[in-house]
Chain A
C-alpha cells in the first residue's frame, strides 16, 4: 500500500542522464518507515542509479529526493547520516581485516570509543562474523563479503538501509540466511532492496516496485497483481462451454484453457466476495461438473511480464 503520511524516503520526478543516455526517467515514489520495498527490474534498468541517488553518491539531473527529511542535494551529509548502503558486489578494502574494516566504518559513521566496540560486536554477532574477524576481507568468500558489507551498513543503526542485489552470487543457504536477516530488519529499519531475481524479491519485500529502462512501471506490483483475481477451474467441459456458462457471471473478464493441463481453465475476474459461489452456481446450472475451483495467489511474475512486455501501455 502506498504510504500517505510522512514517508522516510520520497522521490519526486527524478531523472538522471549519463551524457546522452537517460538512465532514470521521471521516477516518483514514497516509502513509509519500516517498509521493506523491493525494486525489481532487468539488469541495466536503472536500479543501481536510483540507489546511488538516494544515498547521495550520484546527483539527480532533475527532480527531488528526500531521505528522513533531508534533501539529497542540499543536505547530502544529513542524508548520509540517515541511510546506509550495501553496493552491488559488496566492495570492501581488501587489505583490511574484517574487524579493522568494521571499526573503520563505525568510526566514520561517528561511533567512537566503547560505542564502536559494542556496535561492531553486535553486528558481528548478528551476521555470524566472529570466526572471520581477523581475516583480511580480500580472502573472504562471496557470502562472507556480502555479510561484512551488510554488517557495515547496520553500524550506527541507520533509519534506511539500501541493499543492491544483496543475494547475488550467494549459495542457497546463504540466500536464505540473508533473506531471513533482511526480514528481521523490518520495522526497525526501512529497507530498500534491488534485485533482478523475481522469486527472491517476492519472498522478502512487502512492496515491489518495477523498473524498466529507467521508467517506474508500478510502485506496488503486488497490489496490481492482487487487484485482479485469477481462479483455477477444473471442470469436465470444453473451453467454449465453460466460457458460455460463465460469461453472465458478474465480474468475470476472461476464461482461458490452461495450456499445461487439459480440463483446467484460468478465470480472470474482478475481486468480489461471492464470485466463487456465483461461478459454481453458473457452472452447475449449465450442467458442467466442477472438480476444483482454487484462487491463485497474486502472480508477481505475470504482472512483471505484462508490464515489461508493454512498458508504454502500462506506464
Chain B
C-alpha cells in the first residue's frame, strides 16, 4: 500500500509539474467560460446542460493529451524497465497512473464548478441535473482515461498513442449516427457502444444503471487490458 502511495505521488508530481496540465486547464476554462457566458446570456436559463455537452466534447479532445505520455514516454525513455523490474505489481503501476490522470480530470471538473456556483449565486438552478451531469462526466472521464492509458501502453510513440485514443473516442462519439441504419440486432449493439447515447441522460438529469454500467465496464476493461499489455512481454 505504501509502495502504491509512492507510485501515485510520483505520477501526480510528474503530471502537475508538466506544462501540459496547466495549458490544458487554461484552455479548458477559457473555452468553457466563453460557452457558459454565451449560452447564459442567450438563453437566460440557469442550466448547465449545454455546458455538460461542451465538456463532453472537450474531454474527448483533452483526455488523449493527458494519457498519451503515461506509458509511451516510459517505454521510449526505457524507464519502464526500471519500473517493471521493481517489486511493484503491474496492477499498482496501472492504477497509480490512472488515478493521477483522473486527478487532473477531477481538478477540471472542480474548476468548472465555478459556473454552477455562479448560477446558484445569481439564480435558482435545479441541482438534480447538475449533480447527475458531474457524475456522468466523472464516469465518462474515467472511461476516456482508461482507454487512453491502454493506447499509451501499446506504443512507445506518444503521438501515436494520442491518435489511437482520439480515433476511438471520435468513432464511439458518432457511432450511433450510422448505427441506426444497421439491421436489427446489430443496430442496438452498435448504438449502445456510443459514448453520447450513454452520456446524454446524465446531462439532462437522468441516471440509468445501464449508462453507469457502460462507463464502469469500459474503464475496468481498459484497465485490465492495460495490465495485460504490460504483462505480455
Contact = CB atoms under 8 A, between A and B. Distances in A.
Interface of A: 52, 55-59, 77, 80-81, 83-85, 87, 89, 91-95, 104-105, 107-110, 112, 152
Count chain A CB atoms within 10 A of each CB in B7, B79, B86 and give the residue with the most.
Answer: B86
B85 A56 contact: yes
A25 B21 CA distance: 46
A87 B82 contact: yes
B88 A58 contact: no
Nearest to A164: B81
Given A56-B84, A57-B85, A89 B78 contact: yes
B126 to A, nearest CB: 45
Contacts of B77: 91, 93-94
A-B interface, 10 closest residue pairs, ranked by CB to CB distance from nearest: A107-B6, A91-B78, A55-B85, A80-B87, A81-B87, A85-B85, A87-B81, A108-B86, A91-B79, A58-B233
A230 to B, nearest CB: 41
B35 interface: no
Interface of B: 2-3, 5-7, 10, 14, 17-18, 77-79, 81-89, 233
Contacts of B17: 95
Given A57-B233, A87-B78, A108 B88 contact: yes
A238 B5 CA distance: 77
A84 B84 CA distance: 11
Contact of A108 (B18, B87, B233): B87
A144 B17 CA distance: 24
Nearest to B10: A104
A92 B77 CA distance: 8
Count chain A CB atoms within 10 A of each CB in B77, B81, B83 and give the residue with the most.
Answer: B81
A112 B3 CA distance: 9
Given A80-B87, A91-B77, A110 B82 contact: no
Contacts of B85: 55-57, 80, 83-85, 87
B81 A91 contact: yes
A interface majority secondary structure: loop
Contacts of A110: 2-3, 87
Nearest to A107: B6
Count chain B CB atoms within 10 A of each CB in A57, A85, A107, A112 and give the residue with the most.
Answer: A107
A109 B87 contact: yes
A85 B87 contact: no
B3 A57 contact: no
Given A55-B85, A57-B84, A57-B233, A107 B3 contact: yes
Contacts of A95: 14, 17-18
A248 B27 CA distance: 91
